[in-house]
Amino acid sequence: MQVNKLHPIFAAEIVGADLTQPASQELIDLVEATMREFGVTCIRGPVISDEQHLAFARAFGPLELPGPFDPNTPRRMAYGLYDASNLDVNGEIIERESLRAKFSKGNELFHADSSFNDMPSKWSMLRGVIVPPERGDTHFVDLRWVYEELPQAMKDRIEGLVAEHSFLASRIKGGVDPQEVERLKTQWPGAKHPLVRISPSGHKCLFVGSHAYRIEGMDDAEGTALLAELLDFASQERFIYAHKWREGDILIWDNRCMLHRGTEFDYERYKRDLRRANINESGEERSAIIALLPVDQAEADARAKQQA
C-alpha cells in the first residue's frame, strides 16, 4: 500500500488496499495515521459492495445510522448508509423541484456532517457508485490551516465563543422555504460547539460551517455576521482541495476539522449515486434522526406499489 499527497497542505490517497477483504490491522493503522495527518483520505482499489462498505466503516467506530429502520420502506442500498444521490428508489433521477432535491441543495454549502447532532461525530466515508463524467467535484477545506491563517485579532475575538448548529438552518440557507421545515424544528434540536476546537492531530482549528447559525451570548445580527465573515474567509480558493471522483472511490474526511461541499453537475442529464457511512468516536450505534426527511412522490409511489 502506498500513500500519495493530493494537495500541498492536506488530503492524501491510499493505493493498493483491497477492501473486498476484511480490514487488516495494518490497513486500519495506516488509515488512522493518514487521517490524523491529512484529514481527507481517498482509498482507490477494487469496487466494493454496500456490505463491505459498512464493514470497513465499522472498523473505525460505531456508525451513526440514517434513521429509524422500517422494513417496509423501499431502499436502493443497505440499511446503515446515507443516500447522497439524485436518484429515487427505482434508480431514476428525481425531479429537481422535488422537496428532497431542494433539501440536497444545502449540501453545496461548506459544512461538517452531523455537527448538529448530539453524538460525537468522527468521520464520513463516501463511496462513488455512479459518478458524473464531468463536474460534480467535492471540495474540502482544512480548518486547521484556516485557523493558522486567521489574523491574530480574529483569533483573540473568537477564543471561548460557542456556536449553535442546526441542520434546518443549513437547509434554509440552501434555499428551502422556512415553512417547509417548520414541522421538523422540535425534532432536530441541534448542538453546540466552540468556534475554536482542538483537532485529533492536536492543532487548533476554526469550527464553522453552514450548520452554524448563531453564537451564544451574542446579538443575533452580530453573531450571524461574524459566522458569515469566518465562513467567507475559510472558503477562499487557496484553502480548497477539489476531489475529482472516479467510480469506486472511497473518500473519508474528518468532520472535526474539515469542511466539505458538493458542487453542481448536469443534474437532469447524469445520474450520481454516492453512498455515505457516518462514523462516531464512541457510543452505541443509533439514529441521530428523529424525523425522516420528506419523501419524494416517486418514493411514495414505489412504497405504495410494494405494499399493494
The pLDDT tens digits of the residues spanning 112-170 come to 999 988 889 999 999 999 999 999 999 999 999 999 999 999 999 999 999 999 877 66
- Arithmetic mean of pLDDT, 285-291: 71
Task: Answer whether residue 44 shows pLDDT above 80.
Answer: yes
**For strand 138-142 and strand 286-287, is the pairing parallel, antiparallel, or unpaired?**
unpaired
Q: Is the pTM of this model over 0.75?
A: yes
pLDDT at 293: 47
Q: What's the N-to-C CA distance of the chain in angstroms? A: 50
CATH superfamily of 2-307: Clavaminate synthase-like (3.60.130.10)
Return the ∠ at Cα 85 (arms to 228 and 121), rounded to 5°.
55
d(CA 5, CA 37): 11
Mean pLDDT of 178-190: 61
Q: What is the pLDDT of residue 171?
A: 63
**H helix intervals, the chain:** 25-38, 50-58, 99-104, 143-149, 152-158, 167-173, 178-181, 220-234, 297-307
pLDDT in tens, 223-262: 999 999 999 999 999 999 999 999 999 999 999 999 999 9
Q: Which residue has the higher pLDDT, 24 or 301?
A: 24
Residue labelled with grid coordinates 467567507: 232
Q: How many CB atoms lie within 10 A of CB 47?
A: 14
- Three cell numbers written together for 78: 443497505
The sign of the torsion formed by the CA atoms of 293, 299, 303, 308 equals: positive
Q: Are the C-beta atoms of residues 290 and 160 closer than 8 Å to each other?
A: no
Please state the domain extents for the chain: 2-307
> In this model, does residue 33 exceed pLDDT 60?
yes
pLDDT at 173 over 80: no
pLDDT at residue 203 in the model: 96
